Chains A and B, each alone.
Chain A
Amino acid sequence: MQKYYQPEIECAPREVIKKLQSERLAAQIRRVYDNVPYYRKKMEEKGVTPDDIKGIDDLYKLPFLSKYDLRDAYPYGLLGAPLKDCVRIHSTSGTTGKRVIAFYTQHDIDLWDDCCARAIVAAGGSKDDVCQVAYGYGLFTGGFGLNGGSQKVGCLTVPISSGNTERQIMFLQDLNATILCCTPSYAAYLGEHMKEMGLGPDDIPLKAGIFGAEAWSEEMRQSIQETLGIKAYDIYGLTELSGPGVAFECSDQHGMHINEDHFIAEIIDPDTGEVLPEGATGELVITAVDKEAFPMIRYRTRDICSLTREKCPCGRTHVRMSKPKGRSDDMLIIRGVNVFPSQIETVLLNNGYAANYLIVVDRVNNTDTLEVQVEMTPDMFTDDIGAIQSRQNALVAGLQSMLGIRAKVTLLAPKSITRSEGKAVRVIDKRKI
């Protein structure tokens, strides 16, 4: 079976990758300096010219780009290619601020499709597979990205998009889909729905899932793997950087390989901007070295993770990023403590609860309150109120030891938390500051 989609680049020696990155970076910087006034101005403010950037060792000299730049330059200010050469746009949902519109030339679409194709092959995909793409199609990058990758690999591609869960299950069965692509929360919901229909993992031929577009915990992976009877692979990306496929998991599943021929990764201290050494945890910064329409130089992803260049048993040589704990935007500061929703998810799943939960933060008498609402499950129910309360107390203690602060746990009736077909809404912050 094919192990890599583009072995010559995915398994290239480190020196080759570094040389390629350096050449592409120098050319990219010259291009944006010459063609994008916004970048030229930022570089001038920092006193950097394209002559200063000879290779990746000079990367640190360049200014960062943040979501504020994207907001200021909306919609065309960061366009790196003439609009007539662009063939498509995608856009973020705009829930956490101003919508981002990303532009693509045909070259950009091709490299993005390649990145997704690498992810599908790494998850065991080949021409023989049927790939059901249950990410949303449209402005969201998930559907089109995996669709493009799946066609490149030669899978029979089922562009079912998100929603209509019964139809999803029917297609999984009738077309013998072997690979499922969607958000992890939707995969969990599909599993739950199958259970209700009396279907188990053996009733569908799925073997792998490629799940991304939201932060999810290792425990959630285990639970999806069990209910769907598959191996679940993580995929990482941002609309700003093309979409899913910036990084993907191989069968070894110790971090996601960043496609380094297209993206240079750095980890910085989010407060000072200082570049941190390999292995340190900080904010991921990505430079897209050969994207034409929407170049992105030192883009601050707000995702908190670490990098390792240690040799991966899978044979790929590209750097691996750890599963992000969540976007720094998702991080809640509660009573001065940093809390990621994914930490709460870990504790819930470890205590036998389902991954359907809602985090409610409020401020009462000038003190932050944290409430975790979770659904009661048939397995946990007993008519002995004391037994339920001791489970509730165990959860409170688990959250306390994970987060360092006390949370209130509220048990809800089944199905009272709305299921998501795309990115799940996990947090309600009622604080008015």
Chain B
Amino acid sequence: MSTKQISAFLENKPGKLSELTSLLAANGIDLRALSLAETNDFGIARMIVDDVEKASAVLANESFIASVTEVLVFAVPNEPGGLNRLLTEFNKANVNIIYMYAFIGRDTSRAYMIFRVSDTASAERALSLAGLHPLTQSEMDAI
């Protein structure tokens, strides 16, 4: 089960990220996880939010360029080697990671890893053979 992530285009200039966060704040949208990718002149804010449809509409309305992508979220034990065991399985299943980032929920015994992979559907199939299942949207919402 994949999770929906929203990504927004930002110019790499002072104040641009706060334009985005103040818009989300004003509309009561909660950020669950955030990662920034940047180049010299632009950046992309990748976000997991509590209401992706609403966030999409709010951003489009204010002339932000944003898109929704499917990502895979896995929980790993918050201990040495936790991520490594997961990535070993990715490796065996020959899954290519485009990017990843992490966040921690209220329960600090686990960390959550967000992956964007080349081919989400076949990655999910390959990983499920190894007994690895990404979080469902409702599991995500409960974190």
A residues whose Cβ falls under 8 Å from a Cβ of B: 376-378, 381-386, 388-389, 410-416
Contacts and interface: CB of A to CB of B under 8 A. Distances in A.
Contacts of B16: 413
Interface of B: 5, 7, 9-11, 16, 37, 39, 41-42, 44, 46, 63-67, 69, 98, 116
A376 B64 CA distance: 10
A410 B43 CA distance: 12
B37 A413 contact: no
Contact of B11 (A382, A383, A384, A416): A416
Contact of B39 (A384, A385, A413, A416): A385
A73 to B, nearest CB: 48
A389 B41 CA distance: 11
A306 to B, nearest CB: 38
Contacts of A410: 41-42
Interface of A is mostly: loop
A411 B44 contact: no
Interface centre among B9, B44, B64, B67 (most CB of A within 10 A): B9
The 8 closest A-B pairs by CB, nearest first: A383-B7, A381-B65, A410-B41, A385-B37, A414-B63, A411-B42, A415-B63, A376-B9
A381 B39 contact: no
A381 B11 contact: no
Contacts of A386: 98
Interface centre among A386, A388, A412, A413 (most CB of B within 10 A): A413
A413 B65 contact: yes
A385 B63 CA distance: 20
Given A377-B65, A381-B67, A411 B10 contact: no
Contacts of A412: 11
17 contacts: A376-B42, A376-B65, A377-B65, A381-B9, A381-B66, A381-B67, A382-B67, A383-B67, A384-B116, A388-B42, A389-B39, A411-B41, A413-B11, A413-B64, A413-B65, A414-B63, A414-B64
